[in-house]
Amino acid sequence: MTAEPPAGPRRTESGFPFAPVYGPEALAGRDPDERLGRPGEYPFTRGIHPTMYTGRPWTMRQYAGFGTAAESNARYRALIAGGSTGLSVAFDLPTQMGYDSDAPLAAGEVGRVGVAIDSVEDMSELFTGIPLGEVSTSMTINAPAAVLLLLYQLVGEAQGVPPARLTGTVQNDVLKEYIARGTYIFPPQPSLRLVADLFRYCRAEIPRWNTISISGYHMAEAGATPAQEIAFTLADGIAYVRAALAAGLAVDDFAPRLSFFFVARSTLLEEVAKFRAARRIWARVMREEFGARDPRSQRLRFHTQTAGVQLTAQQPEVNLVRVAVQALAAVLGGTQSLHTNSFDEALALPSEKAARLALRTQQVLAHETDVTATVDPFAGSYAVEALTDEVEDAALGLMARVEELGGAVAAIEAGYQKAEIERSAYRVQRETETGARTVVGVNRFRLEPGESAAEEPYRPLRVDPAIEARQAGRLARLRAARDGAAVGRALDALRRAAGGGDNVLYPMREALAARATVGEVCDALREVWGRYVPVERF
């Protein structure tokens, strides 16, 4: 028998009690013109474009990358053939940490959670047959984001694509790595300097590129509530804006290229409210605190991914339902692009069939439902407007606390955000264990012994362990064939720039063009900037 959950009032993920019924009193004292405005107008609560999806649907991205560049290239071609309108690249852990595949610390991790990229040759193979002037590419890379972006530029140039035609995004959000994810390399201050250098470089060289995707997704995956997710993400965004201004950039020169990355959970109503609250807060911060006058600088553009942390290994096909609900929350919340997780990701890297079904989920929403027929259909809903205000107020309170601690970097160094998220994660875990929170197939509605054996067997995608040896062989051949002296000179120029005030991306590009590896470039910066060692204080 499955135990019934304890009775009691329902609460949102951020901890607010749900009212059994919402009415006009929920909006008392609120000026709808001030709080909502019109779609495409300040404060952008109802969306950043006047027509939203009535003109065209969101960009449908599918996050993929595993094993070698050649294997990932085959998956990308299949996704494009299946109707995907944008690529999203997953890199393996050594690449994310700035290590080559033959580094001792990379042992056992090469190609496991993403594609291994060690040099411009790997990047070229990753995009063989994919015209970079026609496809938009998002790269989930943070500490070494500048390195991977420059490799992408070099491959584009080899295809004959001018940098000005390249479109896409690098995540480049290292601050959230210190909070929730851990793939940092350098201390926070030089990391912020690298972010600002990338902003300046792209403005001059790759003007259509989105220079950062400020990410709450990973905080949510670590346990952040919706209010914490947007509060800590927007606080990081403020830190990046301040770093860019300190580097001499004008706010309206770089802010239009800022973008964000959020999760979409199964709690649809609060998620819709979260997205609307985030847009309103960011518009006000950019206009009132930073004096942004260009409306594009005030718009919070964001990508959404469905909640990987809510997928279950038990009865994995049920994840198809979860992902559909989460995708609907993202669409009703006004996302600009969306990745839908595959139903088997709690077990292994997505199989081709599962990845196709994930894309089909978006296509059904876009083409078989009426959610694209009107802009912000929840506007004026007593429940959603009340939830939007509650999430906004809670997020502003958390952002004020970050400011009291000295801003996002000082709060990170004090361990504040990490401690708050861990408390929320512990609460959710305890609720799941006690049955206060229902997780279908895990603590309720489980299969009886023998039923699971009757299910269709699942065959997970396996990563070939021989990939590591093959990547090491590629690196050995690369180092033997290149001009070692030219690589040494280029890396020396990179060290000098890192130790001074010059933009490091220009000598970095020269080093990569000379066939320096990702690990060699990152090691050169480690020698100058050092490594970050976290301190638990809060």
Least confident of 76-80, 99-103, 121-125, 416-420: 76-80
pLDDT tens string 127-137: 999 999 998 99
Place 452 in a pLDDT band, splitting at 50, 70 and 90. Answer: low
Q: Are 342 and 350 in contact (CB under 8 A)?
A: yes
Q: Is the pLDDT of residue 451 over 80?
A: no
Q: Is the pLDDT of residue 318 over 90?
A: yes
The four Cα atoms 115, 316, 137, 192 give a dihedral, to 10 degrees, of -80
Q: Is the pLDDT of residue 90 over 60?
A: yes
Place of tokens 């204080």: 537
User: How confident is the model at residue 348, as a pLDDT?
Assistant: 80
User: Encoding tokens for residue 121?
Assistant: 């040759």
The mean per-residue pLDDT over the stretch 235-256 comes to 95
Q: Helix 226-246 vs helix 416-434: angle between axes, to the nearest 10 degrees?
A: 160
The mean per-residue pLDDT over the stretch 59-73 comes to 80
Q: Is the pLDDT of residue 424 over 80?
A: yes
For the chain, how many helices (H) and strands (E)? 21, 9
> CB 281: neighbour CB atoms within 10 A?
22
Least confident of 27-41, 277-291, 377-391: 27-41
User: How confident is the model at residue 4, as a pLDDT?
Assistant: 56
Q: Is the pLDDT of residue 162 over 70?
A: yes
Q: Are 343 and 356 in contact (CB under 8 A)?
A: no
Mean pLDDT of the chain: 93
User: Encoding tokens for residue 435?
Assistant: 């049955």
The mean per-residue pLDDT over the stretch 339-362 comes to 91
Q: Which SS3 state, helix, strand or coil, does residue 170 take?
A: strand
* Between residues 231 and 80, the one the model is more confident about: 231
User: How confident is the model at residue 1, as a pLDDT?
Assistant: 40
User: How confident is the model at residue 87, as a pLDDT?
Assistant: 85
The mean per-residue pLDDT over the stretch 488-516 comes to 98
pLDDT tens string 178-222: 999 899 999 999 999 999 999 999 999 999 999 999 999 999 999
pLDDT tens string 181-190: 899 999 999 9
CA proximity to 406, closest of 218, 238, 183? 238
User: How confident is the model at residue 458, as a pLDDT?
Assistant: 65
Q: Which residues partner with 170 through β-bridges?
A: 139
Q: Is the pLDDT of residue 6 over 80?
A: no
User: How confident is the model at residue 460, as a pLDDT?
Assistant: 67
The mean per-residue pLDDT over the stretch 418-426 comes to 96
Q: Is the pLDDT of residue 142 over 50?
A: yes
The mean per-residue pLDDT over the stretch 162-190 comes to 95
> CB 205: neighbour CB atoms within 10 A?
18
> CB 113: neighbour CB atoms within 10 A?
15
The mean per-residue pLDDT over the stretch 524-528 comes to 98
Q: From CA 192, how far away is CA 172, in angstroms rounded?
A: 10
pLDDT tens string 249-284: 999 999 999 999 999 999 999 999 999 999 999 999
pLDDT tens string 7-25: 567 899 999 999 999 999 9
Q: Are 487 and 507 in contact (CB under 8 A)?
A: no
User: How confident is the model at residue 32, as a pLDDT?
Assistant: 82
Place 27 in a pLDDT band, splitting at 50, 70 and 90. Answer: confident
Q: From CA 232, how far away is CA 240, in angstroms rounded?
A: 13
The mean per-residue pLDDT over the stretch 93-107 comes to 97
pLDDT tens string 453-474: 555 666 666 667 789 999 999 9
The mean per-residue pLDDT over the stretch 315-322 comes to 96
Q: From CA 111, how far away is CA 66, in angstroms rounded?
A: 5
User: How confident is the model at residue 84, as a pLDDT?
Assistant: 76
| Largest separation between any pair of C-alpha atoms in the chain | 74
Q: From CA 58, how far away is CA 82, in angstroms rounded?
A: 16
Percent of the chain with pLDDT over 70: 94
Q: Are 108 and 52 in contact (CB under 8 A)?
A: no
Q: From CA 136, how far away is CA 302, in angstroms rounded?
A: 15
Q: Is the pLDDT of residue 227 over 50?
A: yes
> CB 108: neighbour CB atoms within 10 A?
10
Q: From CA 375, how far away is CA 477, in angstroms rounded?
A: 55
Place 61 in a pLDDT band, splitting at 50, 70 and 90. Answer: confident
